Amino acid sequence: MSKSSAVANNLRAAVTPRAQHPVSRKSISRAAVKVLYGLKDAGFQAHLVGGGVRDLLLGLEPKDFDVATDAHPEQIKAVFPNCRLIGRRFRLAHVRFGREIIEVATFRASHAQGSDGETLDDGRIVRDNVFGTIEEDALRRDFTANALYYNIADFSIIDYAGGIADIENKTLRMIGDPATRYREDPVRCLRAARFAAKLGFSIHPDTERPIAETGSLLREIPPARMFEEVLKLFQSGHAVASFAELRRLDLLKYLFPASDADLKAGEPGFDRLIDCALRNTDKRIAEEKPVTPAFIYAVMLWPQVQRRAETYQQSGEPPVPSIFAAADEVIARQLLSTSLPKRFSIPMREIWGMQPRLITSKGQRAVRLLAHPRFRAAYDFLCLREQAGEDLGDHPQRWTQMQESAPANEGVSEKRSGSRRRRRPRHKRGGASGNKRD
């Protein structure tokens, strides 16, 4: 018997009956309840697990409802026709109900127990499809607050790791040896920062201590996965607190290396610029308004773009081409740490590229600029720069007044089409065919 199996067999579950906890099926999404009962009726164990249970105990509204079961992925798919199996490193089932997806995971055992688990020499888990019992699954979860199981069979909450007590004490505690768990998956360092920020928890000293040593392993994480962590940290309504926790734990350097260096060097106004942007992001999310990572990245990388653009201008380049040349360099370096899909990097470049134009454009050029599809974001960025203490003269106020005095339909056709009005093609004299463009 493996060490993890032996430990699991000695675990004693603390079971909290329905009458002694506040979690109700009425607070769980209807789709998740359907999945729970569907598995139960098919003869499988079915539990709501992780952050959904934790948030409900805290009186918060969960964003996701995840399910854990003893059914294997193919068995889950057999129960739900609307199911799709995903993942290689960690095989999961996604059960879709319209736009809502319920993620269903099979109980996991130690990745070292079978041929479907694989660990690198540095301890990182690269394949994790060894199935086990609920007790073994509890040991595999990261923090005690995330290792709670709501049992649909009797509506009780099962706690194998003291998670309920840690939630009551507002403490984030790693299950098992923290250094080992961080080496298994270095992203857990970022998760510790994110959960502490989101929940207002303090990280237990034993859980926090190894982060300084193991955080460097984040450099080996694929940039695409790091980008997903950026979204979770800064677009979940607690960006200000997440940023403060990242800086406290010295983890920002693995997400935005150059930005972290600028902050540590005391780049004038940069900390204020970030604070203003993140507070605005949290406010928009609280008001259920849309946010985009393009704006957050534009703020984080702005001092670097400014410095490189100034260098190009000193060599004789005009302001706007200088900005775009600088942007290409800065983005290329950032992509080594976190990916940034083009659907975000392109509008970010446009926000930057419009900054000189917002300073120099006057008359009809300024009127036409109002109709630019990226004008509002660029204007907001200009105002943010002023709010952070940058001297921009009267230009932010000038654009504010122009928007207030502009006719309601100013630039409507360009905003709708995103391009200039198409001209009728000209024809050559004496010929039937017109000029063609490839």
Mark residue 320 as left, alpha or beta (left: phi above 0; alpha: psi -120 to 50; beta: remaining). alpha
Mark residue 297 as left, alpha or beta (left: phi above 0; alpha: psi -120 to 50; beta: remaining). alpha
Instruction: Indicate if 142 belongs to the active site.
Output: yes
Instruction: Indicate if 41 belongs to the active site.
Output: no
**End-to-end alpha-carbon separation of the chain, Å?**
70
CA 222/CA 224 separation, integer angstroms: 5
Angle at 258 between CA 253 and CA 259, to 5 degrees: 75
Considering 55, 66, 159, 262, which one is annotated as catalytic? 66
Residue type, 328: D
Which residues contact residue 398 at a Cβ distance below 8 angstroms, ignoring those fewer than 6 apart? Answer: none
CA 78/CA 72 separation, integer angstroms: 10
Task: Name the nearest CA neighbour of 114 among 130, 103, 126, 125.
Answer: 130
Longest dimension (CA), the chain: 94
Would you say how long the chain is, in residues? Answer: 438
Contact assessment for residue 106 and residue 112, using Cβ atoms and an 8 Å cutoff:
no
Considering 64, 185, 271, 275, which one is annotated as catalytic? 64
Contact assessment for residue 134 and residue 158, using Cβ atoms and an 8 Å cutoff:
yes
Considering 70, 128, 142, 262, which one is annotated as catalytic? 142
CA 276/CA 141 separation, integer angstroms: 35
Residue type, 179: A
What are the distances in angstroms from CA 249 to CA 144, 196, 386, 406, 420?
20, 11, 30, 48, 50
Instruction: Indicate if 66 belongs to the active site.
Output: yes
Q: What are phi and psi of 177, to 5 degrees?
A: -75, 115
Instruction: Show which residues are catalytic.
Output: 64, 66, 142
